Amino acid sequence: MFAGTVAGLRAADTPTGRCLRRAPRVKEAFREPQGWLTVKDADAHNLKNVTASFPLGVLTAVTGVAGSGKSTLVMGEFAAAHEEAVVVDQSAIGASRRSSPATFIGIMDPVRRLFARANGVDMGLFSFNSKGACPACEGNGVIFTDLAFMDPVTTTCEACGGGRYRPEVLAHTLRGRSIVDVLAMTAEEALAFFDGSGERGERTIATRLRALNDVGLTYLGLGRPVSSLSGGERQRLKLANELHRTGRVYVLDEPTTGLHMADVDVLLALLDRLVDAGNSVIVIEHDLDVVRHADWVVDLGPDGGKHGGEIVFTGTPAELLEASGSITGAFLRADDARAAARPAAPAAATNAAG
């Protein structure tokens, strides 16, 4: 879409260029806390007997340099003290290699039921874990060859072409699509196919697919192995599985990891919807776009390791702009000053290949 200098990219009509031309400032209005959850005398790892209060009903950013104690305070001490919190991290999803986004968000059973009803056959025929499984790969879609002292070799199953099902299963379709076709769809394509206008089962599928799209996973294939997802994708997949709940406290660990600036906008819109629906959201973050968008900031430091483990600031992002002794505050202040001094964005240039 573009190749050239950074200055040229800033003027280019691409998603990256448009984001670089923005000059976001710290917002002026903040949500009011509806209560507080407190952690007292936290001293794990490098925390120095920290007592911290986290507001309810708002978006809170927990900031600080690497090693300042953010994860220890939030993912460790806070989560242990408040077990009702929904912790959504980037750790591996405890599932078998057969697991996929479709199985994780719970739409496979409704999908199989729709196929069985449309074709008048047993629902088990559309399961690659039972009757419908390709006999050559046992429904894995791949063949694993153990090479003793070397890593095993994985090859696509020649019998099913990686589709996981017996050939005869493909003859049974739903509105012209086989079960393999459906699993090959992205979340966005599947939402258009299962638009929720049909029976109850289809409405359930549409609701859960909409959650995948809401967390920015529009491109994710329904049948893709969960083991192949990145940490950020795993985190958003877990979040999609929790979106139907309200009145909860959500804790996210660096949710912007691996996201483009435009994707961060999608994430922030999602977090706003969560809060506006009556939830509380706490995010551990370094991204200044998230910090300036938050309603409350808990900043740890003043540095990392043995020089961290203290709370150096609590308050709104606007108050953080005026705070001294905070590295996060210094960078937020500099960024805000650059945004204030930046001239009006130039008109987008045509693509200039370099």
State residue 262 phi and psi, 5-degree precision: -65, -35
- How far apart CA 198 and CA 204 sit, in angstroms, is 10
- How far apart CA 44 and CA 52 sit, in angstroms, is 14
Residue pLDDT, tens place only, 29-59: 999 999 999 999 999 999 999 999 999 999 9
- How far apart CA 102 and CA 111 sit, in angstroms, is 9
132 closest CA partner among 187, 186, 176, 180:
180
pLDDT for 66 equals 96
Q: What letter would DSSP give residue 207? A: H
pLDDT for 285 equals 97
pLDDT for 346 equals 53
pLDDT for 354 equals 42
SS (H, E, C) 107-156: CHHHHHHHHHHHHCCCHHHHCCCCCCECCCCCCCCEEEEEECCEEEEEEE
pLDDT for 345 equals 52
309 closest CA partner among 66, 127, 141:
66
- How far is Cα of residue 161 from the mean position of the Cα atoms in its chain? 30
Say how many CA atoms lie within 13 Å of 294 toward its Cβ. 31
The pTM (predicted TM-score) of the whole model is 0.84
pLDDT for 222 equals 97
pLDDT for 116 equals 96
pLDDT for 124 equals 94
Tell me what percent of the residues of the chain surpass a pLDDT of 90. Answer: 75
Regions in the chain scoring below 50 on pLDDT: 349-350, 352-354
pLDDT for 319 equals 97
- How far apart CA 226 and CA 210 sit, in angstroms, is 19
> Taking a C-beta distance cutoff of 8 angstroms, is the pair 64, 299 a contact?
yes
> Taking a C-beta distance cutoff of 8 angstroms, is the pair 187, 217 a contact?
yes
Helix-helix angle 108-119:200-214, to 10 degrees: 140
Residue pLDDT, tens place only, 330-347: 999 999 998 888 765 555
